Structure 1
């Protein structure tokens, strides 16, 4: 049921009669598209087309171009505006040309990580010739799956607590993954505030130090729909 039908259902229900005091319709804006200087690899283009995506939004193009230049990026755009493609596309593009490349996605909750994993896997499965292992690494992950992700995982989705307790203290076992770590994605960056935010900041500092130990310098991609000061990150 879409929003329009749901609203109509509420208004027609006797239980809610007279409770709607104001209804306002805000028209959608025109989408602004752009083209990449160098097109995406054909497997990713095919995957996007299978999802009826023919062109990328301008913010997606800008993010991909900056990442191709080796820069860190903060993406701040509204909900349901395609933020996940801003990082999934360049990550998968890199893995098509470098099968040893690794990526770490950090989410504030396990539920969000599971949801984003499904979208990532659908995108990857639609790309011919792209074979990679991805999965969530959290407190619910069985021991055998943890070992498999640690040893063979290309993209691991986790949370700050698991990074702090389950990965960084055992970094010697994660040496191959960390040595080839190319991207770190931190989603919902606005949720890291106050004491919790300070704690997570120190966890990320530890991650960068451990990566340096193994000779890697990953790019960081931070995402939010609400943060007001992305330039200060």
Structure 2
């Protein structure tokens, strides 16, 4: 028994000489060092904790009773690194947390009266008029409130009600069932121009309803041309009547769900054809073509250059082509798409071209160059946004990373979807680690 213990101790000492690690110490490894992003190891040495970066050599040793566990020791190491970088060779002597000074010439508002003065200056009558989550963030003594500003909600100009729109009765019922009771003015203008057969480019901010602006009138025209309804149509009458082109497969798959719900409510079919489409689904598309085909430029280019490719026969009945995310088609990619559209126009003689984008500048000129045709521009400069609360905070008793994680935790606690941006990948990893250690689900 004694011999076995002595042998084990000798082996551990030998490993210590070879690796420099005391294997009998309790250790815990992290992946983040604030300086070099290397591995950081936390060792428990009786009453002390020692934090060491295996890559750059930065280290810190706690005093007895300073922290209670390895996680707290790691956070103390992070605070010391942010307050003043430790030596790469020598141990870092612990120092008391230093109060962060605000910018020169600035008096931080700490009292409730000063907060209210800033908030009233922003147009808010009182603190109670703010959402609870904003009140809790403002009341946190761990940071200063430097600036508060409120941006009012905005919405595009209203258009006609769905009941007064030039749509089929079944389409009106389907739209109202999905909660769409009226159109915005730019949507109404787009509907009128598309129903008139014009080539159109729709330019509107994100999340304002661009998809509905071109999808609804196209569905309306398909309904006007079809003989029967949905499954009552004869099989020989089924054909691709509209092609929706998205620059990437991921975006096409993302938008296909919304389009499928809208089209299926009036008996129309939607299918996605790209490189990820299984062979069985491709065969079903060729056997029974959908009314609306969703694809990407690369897929069309590969198959349209082949004279006897089945996709040429599939798309030759199309009468509408939609290019979403129009701003992507620039440079060599844009030139290739331009010639792709010219090939489509030779295959499909009666083709209406429609473009949409949220960010393209001078949309009409851009679309005319891409399409090779004159187009009608539909423009909306007002997005659909809720009230925005802008808070500029400055940490007082904690590090900046800890403050960001604390604010994010408060937002999540109030069931708000939260997105955190950081200046560097390293800072993002640190914030994510702190959030996870405080039981906040983050990625």
8 Å contact from structure 1 (residues 95, 101) kept in 2: no
Segment of structure 1 superposing worse, 17-26 or 84-93: 17-26
The aligned counterpart of 1:144 is 280
- Runs of 4+ in structure 1 deviating by more than 6 angstroms, as ranges, are none
Deviation of the 1:108 alpha carbon: 0.9
1:21-43 deviation digits (Å, cap 9, x = unpaired): 75543212354222387521111
1:97-130 deviation digits (Å, cap 9, x = unpaired): 223561001001111111111001111233xxx3
Structure 1 alignment gaps of length 5 or more:
none
The aligned counterpart of 2:298 is 161
1:67-109 deviation digits (Å, cap 9, x = unpaired): 1111100000000110001111111111212235610010011
The aligned counterpart of 2:346 is 209
Q: Separation in 1 of the partners of 2:282 and 2:192?
A: 33
8 Å contact from structure 2 (residues 263, 270) kept in 1: no
| TM-score between the two structures when normalised by the length of structure 2 | 0.45
How has the CA–CA distance of structure 1 residues 31 and 189 changed in structure 2, closer, same or farther, with 3 Å as cutoff? closer
The aligned counterpart of 1:93 is 220
Aligned-residue Cα RMSD (Å) equals: 2.9
Q: Separation in 1 of the partners of 2:242 and 2:277?
A: 18
Q: Kindly report which structure 2 residues correspond to 1:1-233, keeping only aligned pairs within 5 A, or say none.
A: 24-35=149-160, 39-99=166-226, 100=239, 102-126=241-265, 130-151=266-287, 152-169=289-306, 173-174=310-311, 176-211=313-348, 216-232=349-365, 233=367
Q: Separation in 1 of the partners of 2:153 and 2:331?
A: 35
When Rg is computed on C-alpha atoms for both structures, the one with the higher figure is 2
How has the CA–CA distance of structure 1 residues 30 and 117 changed in structure 2, closer, same or farther, with 3 Å as cutoff? closer
> Which one has more relative contact order, counting CA pairs under 8 Å at least 6 apart?
1
Q: Separation in 1 of the partners of 2:144 and 2:180?
A: 40
Q: Separation in 1 of the partners of 2:286 and 2:146?
A: 54
